[in-house]
């Protein structure tokens, strides 16, 4: 059963902590409730909220905000060196990662401490330190908003890309993810520790032969040192995507800015860290009365004093314009704004 509340404050449900109200709000605990809600004549438009870590509301929401709360996780099948693990969409992502680690299931350790919930993780193919959801993804279950019908999506059907999937493109606004199945390792874990930050942290922890738990501890320590805790300083993690530019453009820029980092991603393109661009342009630690740029990671915008969604939007626009003017690179937002 579910009940619909009117004029619900959304501030506690979003990590950017913007003070807005939803005309109607409903928390859903089961797939059956979700299906019956979708078949009812609810107030439209509909917004699906998970952990609220990737959304900035620009104004009060006029229709219905649907909060996915379905909990539960467990092993589906166990093979020789593999296990299929299912988690419902409402599970907290990091708690799920810790649960997998406590069972010695490998594959999620680099994705420790990412805010949000399981249901949103495939939406933008969350990633960190060289691992993305797509590397361990098996399939997901989703409910079609228009019909309430259940559909299973395999890895190919999700069309994963860098912070991207079919649910942000062709099927945007059409499905609600209700559970995700991951394929994890039980033995012979394949560690991904080639990121400099991870290597340095493991060395400082005096770890030579890291376990998946060690890698997770290193990732947690790195993230805690750079990224603000949303409970203390409201934020949405990386606000922009790292832009990909043509190799020729990168080489030209490198002549003017020899320190500019870049990672070759294909024969034709190079990825440049947006955090470096924003930092180099002088924005790191910038603050106006309400919002600003984090002082230890320039890719993160913060709401330090009751900022509105429009304050965040204005700051992000100023940064986009400045980066375009200085480097000729157009930054794209990773965070959704509605």
All residues at 6 or more sequence positions from 109 whose CB lies less than 8 Å from its CB, including other chains? 97, 101, 191, 212, 213, 215, 216, 219
3-state secondary structure of 211: coil
Candidates 89, 299, 315, 323: give the one binding ligand EPU (CB under 6 A): 299
Q: Is 21 in the site for ligand EPU (CB under 6 A)?
A: no
Could you say whether residue 161 binds ligand EPU (CB under 6 A)? no
| Closest C-alpha to 292, from 282, 278, 302, 284 | 302
Residue of 117, 163, 183, 333 marked active site: 163
Using the rule CB under 6 A, is 129 a contact of ligand EPU? yes
Whether 151 is catalytic is no
Contacting residues for 147 by C-beta, under 8 A, at least 6 apart:
38
Kindly indicate which of the ranges 11-19, 59-67, 100-108, 268-276 contains the residues binding ligand EPU, using the contact rule CB under 6 A. 268-276
Query: What minimum distance in Å lies between the beta carbon of 111 and ligand EPU?
Result: 9
- CA distances 198 to 129, 205, 221, Å, are 8, 10, 9
CB of 216 to ligand EPU, least distance (A): 14
Regarding 279 and contact with ligand EPU (CB under 6 A), the answer is yes
Q: Would you count residue 234 as binding ligand EPU (CB under 6 A)?
A: no
Is the CB of 18 or the CB of 120 nearer to ligand EPU? 120
Confirm or reject binding of residue 94 to ligand EPU (CB under 6 A): no
Q: Does 261 bind ligand EPU (CB under 6 A)?
A: yes
Strand partners, 31: none
By CB under 6 A, residue 284 contacts ligand EPU: yes
CA dihedral 330, 53, 218, 284 (to 10 degrees): 40
334 is catalytic: yes
The answer to whether 114 and 54 have CB atoms below 8 angstroms apart is no
N-term to C-term CA, the chain: 29
Shortest CB 161 distance to ligand EPU, Å: 12
Q: Is the Cβ of residue 8 or residue 110 nearer to ligand EPU in the bound state?
A: 110
| DSSP bridge pairs for 86 | 74, 181
Residue 201 touches ligand EPU, criterion: CB under 6 A: no
- Residue 334 is a binding residue for ligand EPU (CB under 6 A): yes
Smallest distance from ligand EPU to CB 115, Å: 8
Question: Closest by alpha carbon to 298, among 254, 213, 238?
Answer: 238
SS3 40: coil
Cα–Cα nearest to 157, from 171, 173, 143, 146? 171
Choose the binding region for ligand EPU from 17-25, 70-78, 202-210, 295-303 (rule: CB under 6 A): 295-303
* 238 catalytic per annotation: yes
- Residue 160's Cβ-side half-sphere holds a number of Cα atoms within 13 Å equal to 21
Q: Is 57 in the site for ligand EPU (CB under 6 A)?
A: no
CB of 218 to ligand EPU, least distance (A): 12
Nearest CA among 291, 317, 314 for reference residue 17:
291
Applying CB under 6 A, the span of 78-86, 171-179, 270-278, 301-309 interacting with ligand EPU comes to 270-278
Is position 133 an interface residue for ligand EPU (rule: CB under 6 A)? no
**Given 43, 75, 128, 150, the residue binding ligand EPU (CB under 6 A):** 128
Closest CA to 323 of 270, 273, 255, 259: 273
- Residues 216 and 212: their CA atoms lie apart, in Å, by 6
Annotated catalytic residues are: 163, 238, 334
Residues forming contacts to ligand EPU in the complex (CB under 6 A) are 128-129, 227, 237-238, 241-242, 261, 273, 275-276, 279, 284, 297-299, 334
């Amino acid at each position: 059963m579910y009940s619909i509340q009117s004029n619900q404050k959304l501030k506690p449900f979003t990590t950017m902590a913007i003070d807005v109200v939803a005309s109607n709000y409903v928390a859903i605990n089961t797939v059956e409730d979700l299906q019956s809600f979708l078949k009812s004549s609810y107030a439209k438009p509909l917004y699906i909220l998970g952990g609220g870590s990737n959304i900035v509301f620009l104004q009060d929401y006029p229709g219905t905000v649907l909060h996915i709360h379905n909990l539960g996780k467990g092993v589906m099948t166990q093979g020789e060196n593999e296990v299929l693990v299912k988690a419902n969409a409402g599970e907290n992502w990091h708690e799920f990662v810790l649960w997998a680690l406590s069972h010695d299931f490998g594959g999620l350790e680099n994705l420790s401490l990412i805010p949000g919930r399981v249901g949103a993780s495939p939406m933008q193919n969350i990633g960190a330190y060289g691992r993305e959801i797509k590397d361990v993804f098996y399939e997901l279950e989703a409910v079609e908003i228009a019909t309430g019908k259940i559909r299973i999506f395999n890895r190919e059907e999700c069309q994963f890309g860098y912070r991207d999937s079919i649910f942000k493109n062709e099927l945007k606004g059409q499905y609600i993810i209700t559970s995700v199945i991951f394929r994890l390792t039980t033995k012979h874990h394949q560690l991904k520790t080639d990121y400099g930050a991870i290597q340095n942290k493991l060395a400082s922890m005096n770890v030579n032969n890291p376990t998946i738990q060690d890698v997770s501890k290193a990732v947690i320590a790195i993230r805690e040192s750079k990224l603000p805790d949303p409970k203390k300083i409201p934020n949405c993690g990386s606000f922009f995507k790292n832009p990909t530019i043509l190799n020729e453009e990168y080489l030209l820029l490198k002549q003017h800015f020899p320190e500019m980092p870049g990672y070759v991603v294909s024969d034709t393109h190079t990825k440049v860290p947006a955090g470096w661009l924003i930092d180099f342009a002088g924005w790191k630690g910038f603050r106006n009365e309400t919002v600003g740029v984090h002082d230890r990671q320039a890719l993160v915008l913060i709401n330090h004093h009751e900022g509105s969604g429009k304050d965040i939007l204005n700051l992000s626009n100023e940064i986009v314009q400045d980066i375009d003017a200085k480097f000729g690179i157009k930054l794209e937002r990773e965070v959704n704004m509605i």
